[in-house]
Amino acid sequence: MRIGMALIIIADLLIRGADLSAHYTDAGIWPINLVKHFAWKSGYWSIHTLWGEFTPTLVLFVLHFLLAILLLIGSNTRLITFLLFVFTVSLHNRNLFVLQAGDDLLRLVLLWGLFLPWGNHYSLDSKRKKYRTVDSAFANAGYLLLVSSVYLFAVALRNTAEWHEEGSAVYFALSLEQIRLPLGTVLYNHPALLKILTRLVYYTEFLIPILILLPTKKQIFRFVAFLLIFFLHLGFGLTLYVGLFYLIGIVSAFGLLPSNFFDRLDDYAGVTHSRTSNPNSPALFKILLNGFCAMLIGICLLINLSNLKWFNYKLKSELSVFANGLRLDQYWGMFSPGVLRKDGWYVYHGFDSIGRQWDIRLNQDYVDYEKPQSVVGMYTSDRWRKLAENMQDDRFTFLRPLYCKFRLNEWNHAHPERQLAGMNLYFMEKLNLPDYKTKKPTKQLYCVCTNY
């Protein structure tokens, strides 16, 4: 799990790094002076907000990348895990509007990784006999409850007819051309299969936490839970454009695999390990550690329960600040309670100083409002896709002029021979209906921006 998480962080940084200026500097869509005024919560913090220029931001990315390499090889694992957690929280807080549920899971796995023995094997620490296991039953329970919560609360939030009487949730999910991949298109054309898949997803997610939390020493149940998680997320990743979410889901479940699974692999490969001694920790340290882990479990449980309509308790302000400082906030409601029906695509209608039009996306003198052949293909990464999804939300309309201005400036910088005076940002909105029907797309003007 340690190695897998390190590889995911490396991949994530490479993906984010391709848009470093656009998403994390003052020259991009989200300058520092706006960060703490929109969606920012009391207790949030970010090292990345100390500088708005490209160079210091790049330095932070490089340091983050090097920490991920050290986690990969297992050098000073506990310290590196802590530093990676700090850098990850800081990065996520720098731009909240390109995040998805996988980022929450990644942060929380790193947090529990501080207390888990994931430096004991396949690491430089194990060779040097430097790593010592922290013996905490509550840390183990916290990790198991984290993985269980992803599916337990996803099911608890799915209380609409789409998931129950109608069985149409997968149909509506695959109706979203903003995220549908080619395999999803193949499945989309089989309505009977889509109903079966809806039931399969629901009951698989219902079964996973039961298998994980069964009070038994038989490891076969958690192994089956891992297999269910693996195939469930593989299905997500093959049919929907969800970025690294499906890989994070799979890797976060590696800790469910029985220890003898890896022992047999090692025996087959002829790998041996240097076992580290584990002296008894002082009693006071154990009490404090277990108490802290128990508190984290309680807070996370309350946060998840507060997402349910029937649970009225909310964290008190002081406790909320602490939870936000560690970014314990989480919401496992992918396609919950119902599936988004609104779909569509963006049109970038540029115009020059004498009113001549230009299609910025297609680089032509005719602005094409027709649906692209591949809507999901308009996005170079899931971070841009998530930003585009958030701009469609009426709560985040403030993102639209920032995005519009960025696209206009980007065009003028790349095309000095064809400078544009302004741009109209349109969203061609269509509503997905049952039985493969849609409402006729309507042209929504999101923003008008100019260079004046």
In a domain, 54, yes or no: no
Residues 425 and 296 in one domain: no
pTM value is: 0.93
User: Encoding tokens for residue 220?
Assistant: 């076969």
Residues 346 and 320 in one domain: no
Which of 296, 325, 354 terminates a domain? The answer is: 325
Residue 198 shares a structural domain with residue 315: yes
Q: What angle do CA 409, 100, 8 make, to 5 degrees?
A: 95
> What does the DSSP assignment read for 73-136?
HTSSHHHHHHHHHHHHHHHHHH-GGG--HHHHHHHHHHHHHTTS-TTSSSSHHHHHT-------
Q: Which residue has the tokens 């119902």?
A: 338
What pLDDT does 277 receive? Answer: 45
- In a domain, residue 439? The reply is yes
Question: Does 160 fall in a domain?
Answer: yes
In a domain, 383, yes or no: yes
Q: What residue type is assigned to position 56 of the chain?
A: P
Same domain, 282 and 366: no
Asked, for residue 56, whether it belongs to a domain, the answer is no
Boundary residue ending a domain (325, 359, 377): 325
The conformation of residue 316, written as its DSSP 8-state character, comes to -
Tally of structural domains, the chain: 2
Average pLDDT for runs of 10 along the chain of length 452: 97 97 96 95 96 97 98 95 98 97 96 92 83 75 96 93 93 96 96 96 97 90 97 97 96 91 68 52 82 95 93 88 95 87 96 93 94 94 96 95 96 94 96 94 95 78
Same domain (yes/no): 403, 319: no
310 and 361 in one domain?
no
191 in the same domain as 163:
yes
pLDDT of residue 135: 67
Write down the pLDDT at residue 283: 79
DSSP label of 372: P
Is 170 a domain residue?
Answer: yes
Same domain, 283 and 347: no
Residue 130, pLDDT score: 59
- Domain encompassing residue 428: 342-450
Structural domain contains residue 330: no
User: Distance (Å, rounded) from C-alpha 96 to C-alpha 351?
Assistant: 31
CA distances from 68 to 65, 246, 249, 334, 335 (A): 5, 20, 18, 28, 31
Same domain, 318 and 219: yes
Query: Which helix (DSSP H) or strand (DSSP E) does residue 351 occupy?
Result: strand 342-351
Does residue 144 sit in the same domain as residue 218? Answer: yes
The position carrying tokens 């731009």 is 95
Q: Cα–Cα distance between 144 and 203 in angstroms, integer? A: 19
Q: Note whether residue 57 is domain-resident.
A: no
Residues 6 or more apart in contact with residue 374 via CB below 8 angstroms? none
Which of 325, 359, 383 lies at the terminal end of a domain, its last residue?
A: 325
CA-to-CA distance for 230 and 246, rounded, in angstroms?
9
What is the reported pLDDT for 273?
Answer: 55
Q: Please give the span between the terminal C-alpha atoms of the chain, in angstroms, as a whole number.
A: 52
Residues 415 and 270 in one domain: no
User: Could you tell me if 196 and 308 lie in one domain?
Assistant: yes
Residue 89 exposure: Cα atoms within 13 Å on the Cβ side: 20
Q: What is the pLDDT of residue 245?
A: 96
**String of DSSP letters for 205-240:** HHHHHHHHH-S-S-THHHHHHHHHHHHHHHHHHHHB
Question: Dihedral sign, CA of 204, 208, 214, 220?
Answer: positive
